[in-house]
Structure formats: structure tokens, C-alpha cells
Amino acid sequence: MTTTALPTADDLQAQARSALERCGVDLDLLTGEQTSHSPINGETLANLSWTSADEVDACVARARDAFAIWRDTPAPARGALVRRLGALLMEHKADIATLVSLEVGKITSEALGEVQEMIDVCDFAVGLSRQLYGRTMPSERPGHRLMETWHPLGVVGVISAFNFPVAVWSWNTAIALVCGDPVVWKPSETAPLSALACNAVLQQAIAEAAAPANLSQVVIGGADVGQRLVDHQDVALISATGSTRMGQAVGQRVAARFGRCLLELGGNNAAIVTPSADLDLTVRGIVFAAAGTAGQRCTTMRRVIVHESVLDDLAKRLTSVYERLPIGDPTTDGTLVGPLIGGSAYQAMTAALGQAQDEGGKVLVGGERQLADAASDAYYVQPAVVQMPQQTQIVTRETFAPVLYLIPYTDLDEALSLNNAVPQGLSSSIFTEDQAEAERFMSAAGSDCGLVNVNIGTSGAEIGGAFGGEKETGGGRESGSDAWRTYMRRATNTVNYSGELPLAQGVDFSV
């Protein structure tokens, strides 16, 4: 089911300007030679100037100056700033969500959910500001105390991708700020307006808290700007979200200067569907994870490893739901599938479907372009389900589009092997009513992913848990749990109050 009417360029530009103005963005910034397009209609959304690579150096220098003040600010006071940021994000939730929809094509409920995720991580970080715990360990020497303390790390560079244009920034920024670190943010080139709005909201919070003005800065530009940030000796941590290829380049460059990296890269996420699975629940979990955000999440479900006894039933159910998915303008009520980010994503999807058929796959539903007559430069597609005879070459590669492969299995050992037999290791699920199967899936010999779920899909992680994956996903962890340690440096402290000088390990060095 496809809606046919799309908004005009004037309509979208007016919405964007109104949202930006309410967030406190100077509209004079919307001048320049670089054009931003909306995937909703493929037309110009705004023009603006990009930051030059040379300007990155000045931003980092200002951040270093802010760090000298912020690292000595008590952590609970740093948390007060983040508390105010969360309140302002709540106030501007609808405006930022509007910009997210206009720039990357998310349906309204998903865009609002992304901003809610920002608010939630601020709540988490505020509590964390009073819990940056170290440890005290027993010393082997009498009259000594052995402990560890955690200190602010330095300037954090954040490079974010288009599919979560604001949430990923907030995961890093809220935690970095309570840990005592300033942030320099290089957003996706496709989502500069969302970044300007978020930065303006944070700048208001900074001013109200009388915090250093340059705790947060945005550098908008292309690969040269990102590379300058990656290579800068004064950037202590680079948190980068994107493709595996990008992460390989970033990781090597940061390692060459002995900096730190937090990488969130590709995903090729699978769900195992067992004979005991509740198929009604399973279908709901699969459809959101596979078709939500038009298949453009790093946690999007791309493979369903389904027991041969329920394969035909599940395939029929999924095909029926996919045929009825409402596709079109993401800002319209009732739409569930918005546009792809651009033509290259559509081409990648078409190529993947062609290769899947060459490798023996059968397209059960989807793959066709929609609304091409209404907007030639906008790329709407019907999400596709492809039944494969086995896990072939194309299935092991991530295609950042709504293509879902169904792969049969005969026993759980085979299913676990298929789940793990891809280079990526981000998210995974099992649908089962058998407790033993669930426990095996979560065990050390089960899924090798960073996110391992039971009876839910692969998308929709909560901020309380650490988010990230293994293998070519990069190994990074953001958001909850103890991910805060990435943004701090550890010191091991030994205090001698004995009046003597015994050496460790019984060493005798008397003089």
C-alpha cells in the first residue's frame, strides 16, 4: 500500500526553518554553497556553509581550553548541565523529530522515539554523575592502601551516521559531559540541520549552567573534516559510527597516534525462529526490525534462520504483512515505511536482490520502487523478503536497505553456526518457548554478537544496557552499563601511611 501525495520543497523548507528557529538556530546559517536534500521528495531542503578542515584545529583548541575548566568541575555539577539538556530536549522534542524526519526520512513515531532516546540517556547520565566509582583493593604491604580512580579523558570527537542523526551524538555527549570531557561533533553530511538544532539546545543549557562555552562544537563537512578530527593529536577519543570500511580506516589512523577509538560499524543481524516459537509474536518482532527505518538501522534484521518445519507458515505470514505495509511520506499519519536515504541505497538493494536470485533465492514479496513518478529523486521501495536455499555469499554481506533473507535450518547447532557465520557481530535474536534453547543462545557457545535477545527483534535497544557489537562491528560500547569508562582514564593509586618502605613482591633494596 503506497501513499501518492508528497509535500513540496517549499512545504519542507518552511517546516525546517520553523523547527530550527524554535530551537534557537540562527537562520543566517542557512546560506552557503552546500545543498542539503530531503529524501522525502529528493529536493533541496537547505543551503549552508561547511566547516573547512583547517577550522577543525581551532575547534579542538577551544575544546582543550574548555577541558581545563570542566575536568575540575565536580561531577554532580556536570550532571546538572546534562539534566538541563534533557529538559530542553523534552521541550523541543517535536521540533528535533521534525528535522530528523525531513533529513533522513524517518516516520514520525520513530523520529520522536529517537529524541526520546536522547532524553532517556540524559536521565541515565545525570544519575551516573554521582556514580563514577573506583575500587579499593587489598595491598600486600602493611600500612598501605591500594585503589583506582577515574579521571576525565580529554576532547572527544564524535562522527555520526545518517540513520540515527541525533541519538548517537547524545549517547556520547551526555556521558562525555558528566565524565568531564568536551565534544567536537562531525554529523553526517545528510543531516546538518538536526545537528545545528541539537547544538543550539545544548548551547542554551551551557549558558544557563554557566559552563564553558566550547564544551560542545559542531563541524559540518565532508570526509576531509572527519579525517582532520580523526588525525588530531589533541582528540583523546574518536567515537565513530558508520560502515566497516570507514571504521577500518579510522581505527588505523587513531591507533597510529596512540589515541582511543570507539567504533560502531556494520551489522548483519539474524533471528533464529524455532519450532516452538509463537509465530504471531515472531512476525511482529521481525517486521519492525526488518522494515522499520526502511531497513536502514545498524540493528536491522537482515536474516531469519527458520526451522524447516515452520518455514512455509512463517513465509506466508511475512509475505501477507509486507504486502500491506503503508509506504510513503514519513510525516503522514499511518505511514510505516519512508524513503531510502538516496539513489545509491536503492541501487545497492537492486543489486543485492539480483545476486540473491542468481544464488538460488526467490523473491517472495517486494523490491519494487514506489512513487518514482511523484518524485524522481526520492527512493521509496517495498521491503523485500527473499527465501534462500542456504546462507550464500550475498547473505553474509550487509545491504543497507530493507532486504530480509529466510534461511532454513534443521537443528539448533546448525542455526547457531549460521547466526555466527558472518563477519559482523552486532545484534541477534531467538524466538522460542523452550527455555533450554534460549539459554543456549545466550551462552558463551551461543550467539557471538554484542546484543543477544530472546523473543524480541534485533532493533530497539534500551539505553540502560551497553550498546555495541563484536568482530567487524568494531567492539565499541556506548550508552549504558559501564560504557562511561571509555570516556575516562584510570589511575592506580598506592598510598603508604606505614612510616616504613616495604617493597612489593618481597624485594629487598636496602641502602
Q: Is-contact 16 191, C-beta < 8 A? A: no
Measure the CA angle with vertex 306, ends 303 and 311; round to 5°.
115
Active-site residue, selected from the candidate residues 103, 110, 117, 264 = 264
| Cell digits of residue 115 | 529524541
Residue type for 446, please?
A: G
3-state helix, strand, coil split of the chain in percent (to 5) is 40, 20, 35
Residues paired with residue 387 on neighbouring β-strands, in sequence order = 362, 406
For 215-251, the DSSP string reads: GEEE----HHHHHHHHH-TTEEEEEEES-HHHHHHHH
| Cell digits of residue 421 | 557465520
264 is catalytic: yes
Categorise residue 41: left if φ over 0, alpha if ψ from -120 to 50, beta otherwise. alpha
- Tracing cell 521541550 back to the chain, one arrives at 91
SS3 for 263-296, per residue? Answer: EECCCCEEEEECCCCCHHHHHHHHHHHHHHHHHC
Q: Is-contact 271 305, C-beta < 8 A? A: yes
Active site residues: 264
